[in-house]
Amino acid sequence: MEPALWSIKYSPQAWDDFVGQDDAISQLRKLAESKTGQNMIFCGPAGTGKSCAAFVFSRALLGDTFTANFKYLNVRDLRETTVAKAKRDLQTLSKLERSERTELDEYMSAVYKEAKADLALKGHTGEPNKSQLLHEAIRLFASTITVSDEMVKYLVLDEADALDRNMQQALRRTMEMYSDACRFILTTPSLAGWNTAVVSRCLVVRFPAPQDDVVEKLLRTIATKERVKCDDKAFRAIARESSGDMRRAINLLQVCAAGVQSVTEDVVYECSENQLNKDVREMVSLVVNGSFAQGRDLMKRLLAVDSYGPDEICIAVQADIMNRPLDSLTTDRILQRIADIEYRITQAKNPFVHLSALLASIGEMTSAKTA
């Protein structure tokens, strides 16, 4: 069996489990204790505790009614649910192995039925499209689940930065329509690109990237529990390499600890930087060799699973390009493109789009030279 990921094993389950984020946690704790429910946006970079805090807050506020009155939806997962997948009815789903169907599949099946019925009411006979499904997924929970004893219910929309402008408008209407009974918690890395009408209806709770000493404190606690020997320099190196991303810091500690007696700074260096550089080398090679889709998948993994920052990926791509035997004109053009994309990433809210454009340009510029 695969060993459990420490970042999951040690994810905060109660207020006291959080390390750092003192302002956010004390603010949320007070709100939960006074049963003050409001719409909120948890805003901050990756791995700072936003999703965990959304669960802990909702559990603390809802108490016994948590199971009935809480729903978690990840907007990126919702967007990846195809109409064909959502169309499967419960009977079809029940024939699948438990490992082949998720709670979301079952929810989306109900969502599909509602969206289709809604279209029929409006005189349309066609299928709901993906954005109608997404809208209905949010509306369905807000509108139907029973609320006990005048408690509100909570809908967490995790990674809500994946909502486009139209979906944000629809969300604003849904928030207003069900404001008596349903509260929303949205998580997003930044407020850039957010509809101001949505933001003004929410309490914004900030989750800033913690300082290295806070990350070190968390790492030391986990190392003690896991009986991992790690020297001071190594703790410092992991914290530095993780740039305030707690998830990444914990994962890196776990990777470093595998198969060594004692974690040193050198082990950290080997396990961290090299892995990103290796993956980026593979990603650039894929697009240079014409496998754009595979290169893009790898980039998606680096962003979404390994939690590398888009700016770090840009810098690693730049280093990789400098090491390739390209003619100077092509190298110059690609470097200019990297600078352009890096600037755009700081201005925009979906780095995936811009890094994809960068990979497409690298593929194009290098193939023009080799054709």
Ligand X SMILES: Nc1ncnc2c1ncn2[C@@H]1O[C@H](COP(=O)(O)OP(=O)(O)OP(=O)(O)O)[C@@H](O)[C@H]1O
Residues in touch with Mg ion (CB under 5 A): 51
User: Is 52 one of the binding residues for ligand X (CB under 6 A)?
Assistant: yes
Binding mask of the shown chain, residues 211 to 240, with x at each position contacting ligand X by CB under 6 A: -------x----------------------
Size of the site for ligand X (CB under 6 A): 24
Q: Least distance in Å: CB of 87 to Mg ion? A: 28
Taking CA atoms, 225 is separated from 14, 228, 229, 258, in Å, by 18, 8, 11, 15
Amino acid at 220: R
Q: Which residue, among 266, 230, 279, 270, has the nearest Cα to 250 in the 3D structure?
A: 230
Binding segment for ligand X among 29-37, 46-54, 149-157, 169-177 (CB under 6 A)? 46-54
For 269-325, what is the HEC assignment?
Answer: HHHCHHHHHHHHHHHHHHHHCCCHHHHHHHHHHHHHCCCCCHHHHHHHHHHHHHCCC
Find the binder of ligand X among 11, 169, 264, 291 (CB under 6 A): 11
Interaxial angle between packed helices 310-322 and 273-288, expressed in degrees from 0 to 180 and rounded to the nearest 10: 70
Q: Least distance in Å: CB of 51 to Mg ion? A: 3
User: Is 243 one of the binding residues for ligand X (CB under 6 A)?
Assistant: no
CB nearer Mg ion, residue 51 or residue 254? 51
Binding mask of the shown chain, residues 264 to 303, with x at each position contacting ligand X by CB under 6 A: ----------------------------------------
What does 252 interact with, of Mg ion, ligand X, none (CB < 5 to 8 A by kind)?
Answer: none
Phi, psi of 185 (to 5 degrees): -120, 120
Question: Which strands sit side by side in the sheet containing 70-74, from one edge to the other?
Answer: 70-74, 153-158, 182-188, 40-43, 203-206
What does 250 interact with, of Mg ion, ligand X, none (CB < 5 to 8 A by kind)?
Answer: ligand X
CB nearer Mg ion, residue 51 or residue 242? 51
DSSP state of 363: H
DSSP state of 15: G
What does 69 interact with, of Mg ion, ligand X, none (CB < 5 to 8 A by kind)?
Answer: none
User: Is 363 one of the binding residues for ligand X (CB under 6 A)?
Assistant: no
| Contact by Cβ (8 Å): 109, 128 | no
User: Is 246 one of the binding residues for ligand X (CB under 6 A)?
Assistant: yes
| Contact by Cβ (8 Å): 185, 152 | no
* Binding residues for ligand X (CB under 6 A): 7-8, 10-12, 18-21, 46-52, 187, 189, 207, 218, 246-247, 250, 307
